């Protein structure tokens, strides 16, 4: 009997050992959690997190999110560490690659193992700094227009300007690039950038239904209107253009830089010569320049994707038409004496924009034309046909 009792004790111990081992495989001892939606998605970061509703069999000693480009990320991939215990937590995901699809899920670890929430998928945006540029060589040119030029204005007084070399965006800044900037800085639907140089000034306004070619705010982030990702950003104020330029390490072009780059070595009204045809730029084709004619007069009536038309001799696209482009300068009278790297008036009421737009007659697309309309050129003004590009000093 003693021997049988001893065997029974051994058998019971074996059962207990097996039961103890099974505990590790039983999910009832693991935490219970969900994964937060992914928000604030930029070209290199995003925000997620989780909510732990049960600790399981023991205290949660680690929590966060894990992510990878495969559909079932684990903590052996990339992860954040966001404290201990149950409840809601937020995770900042960094070090991402632009225009890449990722999968993320929350995790929680206790002494029994690691549990995961559901998988969420997201895609990072384009890098706003991925901005092809053209080198504009140093040189001297005659800025302004001769009085003999058709539609010349009095504020286009000719004068000699010498410029140092600089680089300029080949293309107007696009909706996708600007959205990436707004989301990277967590700028909300009001378009205000509290940490920027102009914290009380709106950077951009959402597109309306009647001109739905720009950006809209989805509730968590800014997004280009579908189909207009590579069209130039619109409804952006001078402040918004300047903040983006600073963000990518550049500045808005001065009027002198803009005109020199637009002319690309020419002295004619356009870099294309004395005419600007419907095959060369997006403008109101029903109003060609001077005695010029167009074979097609029904114009697009909205911005076109950047680079739709041929580049000028410096490799710059859409310097005539498509959208007006903000310059750095305050509007003011030109000097008559030679200038070197001029920056325009020190003060003023209006900022200048250049180049004409999809809505403009050809005369307003001239290389020398300066737009300073009091209704549209205050730095806090915006329009469905105004955008910008950026310059960089080597």
pLDDT digits (tens, 9 = 90+) for 187-239: 999 999 999 999 999 999 999 877 799 999 988 899 999 999 999 999 999 99
Q: What is the pLDDT of residue 274?
A: 98
Residues 6+ apart with CB under 8 A from 303: 213, 228, 231, 232, 234, 282, 322, 323, 357, 358, 385, 387
Looking at the domain assignment, is residue 60 inside a domain? yes
pLDDT digits over 255-268, tens only? 999 999 999 999 99
Q: What is the pLDDT of residue 177?
A: 95
Q: Which two tokens stand for residue 225?
A: 């209107």
Q: Can you tell me whether residue 168 is helix, strand or coil?
A: strand
Pair (147, 269) in one structural domain: yes
Q: What is the pTM of this model?
A: 0.76
Q: Domain check: are 134 and 234 in the same one? A: yes
pLDDT of 9 higher than 50: no
CA-CA distance, 33 to 132, in Å (whole number)?
44
The CATH number of the domain where 156 resides is what?
Answer: 3.90.1580.10
pLDDT band at 275 (very low <50, low <70, confident <90, very high): very high
pLDDT digits (tens, 9 = 90+) for 336-390: 999 999 999 999 999 999 999 999 999 999 999 999 876 779 999 999 999 999 9
Same domain, 89 and 197: no
pLDDT in tens, 119-165: 999 988 778 778 899 999 999 999 999 999 999 999 999 999 999 99
pLDDT of residue 2: 44
The parent domain of residue 117 ranges over: 29-123
Q: Are residues 176 and 280 in the same domain?
A: yes
Angle at 251 between CA 330 and CA 348, to 5 degrees: 10
Q: Tell me which of 101, 123, 145 is where a domain ends.
A: 123
pLDDT of residue 128: 77
Mean pLDDT of the chain: 92
């Amino acid at each position: 009997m003693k021997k049988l009792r001893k065997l029974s004790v051994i058998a019971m111990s074996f059962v207990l050992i097996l039961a103890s081992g099974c505990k590790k495989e039983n999910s009832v001892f693991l935490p219970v959690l969900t994964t937060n939606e992914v928000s604030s998605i930029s070209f290199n970061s995003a925000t997620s997190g989780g909510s732990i509703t049960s600790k399981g069999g023991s205290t949660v000693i680690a929590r966060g999110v894990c992510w990878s480009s495969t559909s079932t990320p684990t903590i052996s991939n990339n992860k954040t560490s966001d404290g201990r215990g149950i409840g809601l937590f937020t995770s900042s995901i960094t070090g991402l690659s632009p225009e890449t699809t990722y999968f993320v899920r929350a995790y929680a670890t206790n002494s029994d193992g690691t549990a995961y929430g559901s998988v969420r998928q997201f895609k990072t945006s384009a890098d706003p700094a991925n901005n092809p540029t053209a080198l504009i060589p140093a040189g001297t040119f005659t800025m302004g227009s001769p009085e003999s030029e058709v539609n010349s204005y009095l504020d286009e007084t000719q004068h000699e300007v010498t410029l140092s070399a600089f680089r300029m965006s080949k293309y107007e800044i696009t909706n996708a690039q600007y959205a990436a900037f707004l989301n990277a800085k967590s700028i909300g639907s009001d378009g205000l950038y509290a940490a920027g140089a102009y914290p009380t000034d709106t950077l951009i306004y959402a597109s309306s239904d009647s001109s739905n070619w720009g950006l809209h705010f989805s509730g968590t982030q800014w997004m280009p209107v579908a189909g207009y990702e590579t069209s130039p950003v619109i409804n952006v104020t001078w402040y918004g253009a300047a903040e983006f330029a600073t963000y990518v390490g550049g500045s808005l072009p001065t009027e002198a830089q803009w005109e020199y780059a637009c002319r690309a070595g020419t002295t004619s009204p356009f870099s294309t010569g004395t005419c600007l045809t419907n095959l060369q730029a997006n403008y109101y084709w029903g109003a060609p320049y001077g005695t010029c004619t167009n074979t097609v007069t029904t114009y697009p009536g909205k911005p076109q994707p950047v680079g739709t038309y041929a580049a000028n001799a410096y490799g710059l696209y859409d310097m005539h038409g498509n959208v007006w482009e903000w310059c750095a300068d305050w509007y003011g009278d030109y000097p008559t004496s030679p200038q070197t790297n001029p920056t325009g008036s020190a003060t003023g009421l209006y900022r200048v924009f250049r180049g004409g737009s999809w809505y403009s007659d050809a005369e307003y697309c001239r290389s020398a034309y300066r737009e300073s309309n009091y209704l549209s050129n205050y730095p806090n003004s915006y329009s469905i046909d105004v955008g910008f590009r950026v310059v960089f000093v080597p």
